[in-house]
Structure 1
Amino acid sequence: MNIKSIVEFVRDVYKTDEFIPLHAPVFDGNEKKYVLDTLDSTFVSSVGKYVDDFERKMESYTGTSRAVATVNGTAALSAALYLAGVKRGDLVITQALTFVATCNALYHLGAEPVFTDVSPVSLGLCPVALENWLLENAALTDKGCVHRKTHQNIRAVVPMHTFGHPVELDELIDVCKKWHLVLVEDAAESLGSFYKGRHTGTLGEYGALSFNGNKIITTGGGGMVFCRSPEAGIRAKHITTTAKVPHPYEFYHDEPGFNYRMPNLNAALGCGQMEQLDVFLKRKRSLAQRYERFFEGSEFEFVKEPSYAKSNYWLNAVICENNDSRDAILAEMNASNVMVRPIWKLMHRLPMFESAMRDDLTNSEKIEARLINLPSSPVA
């Protein structure tokens, strides 16, 4: 299959000779109406009805006990990790094949990432690699799970649902229970994805979503913390709103908090987007099926949802034969005004995380060298 035929296929899908972005937002519903309503009300900041409405809509859709809106996805993950008890000097196990925000959230809490390999099935954290690293490096003590050489606490595990494809959650949960670790799901990319009938971000103790402009729905910026228990949800709301104790006029804060509140203006946009989520998901699954049929029988391996899951197919992807093939496609398609992207550089290749502990990352390195993302905006 030559690159020109891929370009022609994508242009035929999107019915345009103009520039085709990787993933663009769609505003076909009540977004403008709701945003203008916030302007008319003057409640554009963190006080206003749309923040509560957005949180309740998300709880209803995902089945989480409590959803707490935040200013962005990194803030949501940072709050989730804080609620999980992650402290300065702790180790947190995650994947090197992720967007940098996963590790930035750890860095700003003073924790250190440990990178274990991903599964070729999900492209997310591999439970076998996780267990093997723990067997080789960790011990259970009266302090909990600790690293045998450094004696640092190993506090949590953070799998990321890559491109919306759910990781093998049952197996990861079993490993976490065995080693007394808290599972925090980085569900930034997976709104609308389900693992064995349950929405991603709701199986771990905490989950975090992103509503960046390139996500399946957007609030411009924005994120959401999912909490398994209502009590944790109450605390999440408290610490993300500066830990202010309610009072008619006094300002009293009972612990260090975060100013992570989502503005009402952004939440209004989110409410309009949520009304169209099912339509977006239907369109994206149809697009994924078209890509799958197009690449069937070729030298390219289309990345499909795992058998145990239903994915939102946030970003469609193919695995190329080799790194040279990947680079040729990246160069030619972008030169043809069809945006394609490589997967992120592995986190241990970045200067701030190059000294992090890690396993051999065999699958991660293969995927990094060969994967490209294809235009994935929902098509009517």
Structure 2
Amino acid sequence: MEVQQVLHMNWGNGETSYATNSKLQELVINKAKPVVIGSISDLYTTNLPRCLRVADLGCSSGPNTLLVISEIIDAIDETCHQLKLTTPEFQVFLNDLPSNDFNTIFKTLPAFYDQLKKEKGDKFGPCSITGLPGSFYDRLFPTSTIDFLHSSYSLHWLSQVPPTVESSNKGNIYLASTSPPSVTKAYLEQFQKDFFLFLGLRSKEITRGGRMVITMLGRRSEEPFGKEAYFWELLSHSLNDLVLEGLIEEAKVDSFNLPFYMPSHKELEAVVCEEGSFYLDQLQIFDVNWDGSDDDDDNNKAGFMFDRFISGQKMAKCVRAVAEPMIACHFGETVIDILFNRYMEYVSDHLSKEEGKFVNFVISLKGK
């Protein structure tokens, strides 16, 4: 599986698109907002750049793509009003793999610019937004050109499936209780290699004293598998059901593994420390529900009233929007509907017995 070709969210705005099924990611962005705003505000008031250059790495497409950029612009605009300063110009780079749905993003830009002008006035900006196709495991920008780097829900995706995993992780698509130690070791080493590379590349591109905020999936436990990754194990169960029903070949499941890793905070901190280009300002950890509902919402506090079937349906649609291109490439498109209907049943059944939570890390880094 060539990761750069198949690792993209479902395109467009249809029922199974990422744009329609990304409420979870929106919730995570909103919960990480205080760290992002604190970091960008501190950067601006310290350096006062005339042109603020911001890059969003792994921007995807849909309503969340410009959400962080809007928050950053609003925060800087408010800071400038408080300090009686002229707002800086903004140069924004939206990065993702070439297979990303950039066309959908570009179609939203005229309305975004009009809204900025309406809210901020003619004297604001200007703001220039550019699409930048490419892997963030390669160099993206010239040396010392980006003031603020942001990435949400992207760094848990690896540059490749770890070597040797395909022949060893039979019946699983990610780390599970039945995965041999060699698979666990291979996944950790691939994450360490990729994250070390990512930090080294960004350290060359960021300006002196620049900032970076990363939000990604992780795990609280030091155990390499467990409840944090159980949502992938349920998808493995769904695929194995289709094997028993003769819809897909067992060898196809055995040879399919995700280019994905959820580190522990110790594994994350160890790479930052070893690579050495950044100071670790903050590392915050918070949970969100699988279906993207917010525990702070009064409508969700009465747990006995919550419909687990609806929750399972939302979760299945969210995972489908993210994983369908990879799965369809490997297994074919004809089994997709059957697979995710089965997955929805597994998720709903699990949620009828216990909660499903994603563990999220928000990491604030400062360039040395």
- Bin of the TM-score, shorter chain as denominator length: 0.3 to 0.5
TM-score, length of structure 2 as denominator length: 0.32
TM-score, length of structure 1 as denominator length: 0.32
